[in-house]
Structure 1
Amino acid sequence: MKKIFLVLFILTSFSIFAQKPCEIDREFTDSLGSYKSLKQQLIFERSFAGNSNRIYFTLSISNGILSLETEMLQQSNEFIKANCLDQKSKIYLQLANGKIVTLLYNGIETCGTLIRSEDGKNNRITSATFLFSKENFEHLKTSKVTFMRIQYAGETVDYPFKTSFTSELDGKTYEPEKYFIENLKCFN
């Protein structure tokens, strides 16, 4: 009887501590090389007085180069100020262990796209790709991200990360602090 309980305990322990599976969105290899990306995940959400701001992350690797694809969505009844990205733009990630990881913008200058929806709201969508440097992303595998700072062309904006939150958009619970810990293992 003790052996049965021991086996049941061990099996339940494995299922409790099992790692989250990698959710691959796209993966292909052709004559130009290989590409693999994970499913997009909501990292930051703020809604206040009819204005909302959401940031999504997608980790990808293209021909051995690891990058972070970001999509920033702003929605408002009023005009939305553009936060432009240029060659000097960066993302700074502050980790729980005190380290700071810097990602470099890889693209041309952009201020996003302003779209007016059918319900009369203004929507600004800004997509960008940021690159990791080889020496700094190893800390992301073991330490949670507590804070993000984006250096735009004209200003710097801070985004505190939450341990977890339930999105107003889809009702799902997200854990942005653990995003890199859970997802970088998909590219080993």
Structure 2
Amino acid sequence: MNKKIVLALFLFANLIAFSQKPCEIETNVTDSLGTYKLTKQAIIFERSFAGNSTTIFFALFNNNGVLGLETQQLQSSADFIKANCLDSNSRIFLQLNNGKIVTLLFAGAETCGTLVRNDKNENTRILIGSFVFSKENFEELKSSPVTFMRIKYSGEIIDYPLKTELISELDKKTYQPENYFIDYLKCVEN
């Protein structure tokens, strides 16, 4: 009987170990200024409609013990793209499956991004911002999926529903946006 319990625990532990996502670190620097670790980007949101597209990437970072989220938003259109700016009042609100809301604070200089023309002669706006969260709301992200994201820009608020699974049109890879924090926060905690 004890052998069966030990075997069951062993198999369960192996199942958990193999089901976790591996950490893909883009940058890992330690120098006289301190330490900085950044995960590889993942697509969290993608929408394409009537010749307009929006893609949002996330990457987690640890900058000398301050944990945060780097976001990159790409918008493409044949028409002019209105700027969504980030300022000191900007926030990301993440609604969790357990009903709680986690707020991340913008931690950078005011920016409206950059407007460029891509190889298809379309307008592309690139907006990059860093957001930080505190230890209090950090723990909730490790155990509950994120079902909804709201970004408060300097001039408006835009909602982004997150999918359980997303097959990207951009790179043809499969992502799990709802479980992004569950899968990757462990990569930057230390």
Could you tell me the TM-score, scaled by structure 1's length? Answer: 0.92
Output one character per residue of 1:128-170: Cα deviation in whole Å (capped at 9) or x when no partner. Answer: 0001112111100000000000000010000000000111111
The CA distance in 1 between the partners of 2:16 and 2:87, in whole Å, is: 44
Give 1:55's aligned residue.
56
Pairing 1:152–2:182 present: no
Give 1:41 shift.
0.5
Partner of 2:14: 14
- What secondary structure sits across from 2:87 in the alignment? coil
1:62 deviation in Å? 0.6
Residues 1:65 and 2:73 are matched in the alignment = no
The CA distance in 2 between the partners of 1:116 and 1:56, in whole Å, is 20
1 CA distance for matches of 2:64 and 2:123?
37
- Residue 95 of structure 2 corresponds to 94
Question: Matched residues in 2 for 1:11 and 1:103: separation?
Answer: 38
1:178 aligns with 2:179: yes
> 1:120 offset after TM fit, Å?
1.2
Q: Give the aligned residue type for 1:83.
A: N
Q: Aligned equivalents of 1:11 and 1:139: distance in 2? A: 28
Structure with more contact order per residue of length (Cα contacts < 8 Å, sep ≥ 6)? 2
Q: Sort the Cα spacing of 1:49 and 1:98 in 2 relative to 1 into closer, same or farther, 3 A.
A: same
Amino acid at match of 2:48: S
Shift, 1:11, TM fit: 6.1
Aligned to 1:123: 124
Structure 2 stretches of 5 or more lacking a match? Answer: none
Question: Are residues 1:167 and 2:168 paired?
Answer: yes
Q: Deviations over 1:88-114 (max 9, x none)?
A: 000000000000000000111111000
Write out per-residue CA displacement over residues 2-21 of structure 1, whole angstroms, 9 at most, x where no aligned residue.
x9xxx8xx669825761111
1:110 maps to 111
Question: d(CA) in 2 for partners of 1:132 and 1:12?
Answer: 33
- 1:81 is aligned to 82
Q: What amino acid does structure 2 have at the position aligned with 1:57?
A: F
CA spacing shift, 1:14–1:73, aligned 2, 3 Å: same
